């Protein structure tokens, strides 16, 4: 299983770095959801994904492709591939003329004898927000309850986020499995395991506060006892008069697995919408 998935990923990347992105569509499922730093809302569904990739044909070329510490964790018919990635351009003398470092999440699903990608999340390593970005959001006059598994998982996610916005990140630690993997805007590489995550949270406890949290268009992809939750998120801080002081737009991927009858996070990937690389 691991070799099969890595071979698919490396073949797609080899074509990508030579200007042909379409292998990614060939190994993706009909319900693919896709996030990267260049878009302000996810690409949803294979038709829109193909359209998106065709717009990139011939535009991406580089010579050095490095998969750093790839890891695959399987949960039933879902496999979560995570790695850091380095893409670089070689100069005529063989030196590195420019490079980009990435956090990468790929969620594969096994069906009809094949592994297919159902969710992709790319972000720059240790990235920052631009001074301005326009994020399209849907607005409803009345909130509707989330149905089924989405409702179960969003109740857990919302409760953890409520603690987070008050300076307590450990709600997410309580919700995470012992083998959790984790990316966010400030981590220098993937974090592996709950103890590493707790150590990172200890640096942030009491330092993060905001007033309003908005979950935008949460989606769930359920496969047996595993599920992929994706959403955009706005964290908003207010001035004393109630006006907006700052607002930060995020992409979030959470992969959950049911462990001993309870939903637990097994992988997290946070990134800024339209994040810009700093390294």
Domains of the chain, CATH where assigned: 2-124 (3.10.450.50), 148-272 (3.10.450.50)
Integer Cα distance of 16 and 179 in angstroms: 31
pTM: 0.95
Q: What is the pLDDT along the chain (279 residues), one digit of tens a residue?
A: 899 999 999 999 999 989 999 999 999 999 999 999 999 999 999 999 999 999 999 998 888 889 999 999 999 999 999 999 998 887 666 666 678 999 999 999 998 899 999 999 999 998 999 889 999 888 877 778 899 999 999 999 999 999 999 999 999 999 999 999 999 998 999 999 999 999 999 999 999 999 999 999 999 999 999 999 999 999 999 999 999 999 999 999 999 999 999 999 999 999 999 999 886
pLDDT at 64: 86
């Amino acid at each position: 299983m691991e070799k099969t998935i890595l071979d698919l990923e490396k073949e797609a990347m080899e074509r990508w770095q030579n200007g042909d992105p379409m292998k990614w569509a060939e190994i993706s499922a009909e319900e693919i959801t896709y996030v990267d730093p260049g878009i302000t809302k996810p690409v949803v569904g294979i038709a829109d994904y193909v359209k998106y990739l065709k717009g990139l044909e011939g535009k991406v070329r580089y010579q050095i492709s490095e998969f750093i510490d790839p890891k695959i964790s399987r949960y039933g018919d879902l496999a979560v591939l995570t790695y850091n990635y380095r893409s670089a351009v070689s100069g005529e003398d063989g030196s590195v003329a420019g490079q980009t470092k990435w956090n990468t999440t790929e969620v594969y699903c096994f069906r009809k004898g094949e592994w297919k990608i159902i969710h992709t999340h790319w972000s720059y390593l240790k990235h920052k927000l631009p001074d301005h970005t326009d994020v399209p959001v849907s607005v409803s006059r009345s909130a509707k309850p989330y149905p089924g598994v989405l409702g179960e998982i969003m109740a857990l996610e919302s409760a953890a986020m409520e603690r987070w916005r008050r300076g307590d990140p450990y709600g997410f630690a309580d919700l995470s499995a012992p083998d959790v993997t984790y990316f966010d805007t400030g981590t220098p590489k993937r974090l592996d395991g709950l103890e590493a995550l707790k150590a990172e949270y200890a640096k942030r406890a009491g330092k993060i506060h905001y007033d309003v949290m908005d979950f935008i268009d949460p989606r769930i992809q359920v496969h047996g006892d595993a599920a992929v939750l994706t959403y955009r998120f706005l964290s908003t801080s207010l001035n004393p008069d109630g006006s907006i002081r700052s607002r930060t737009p995020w992409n979030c991927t959470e992969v959950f697995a049911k462990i001993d009858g309870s939903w637990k996070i097994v992988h997290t990937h946070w990134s800024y919408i339209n994040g810009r690389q700093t390294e």
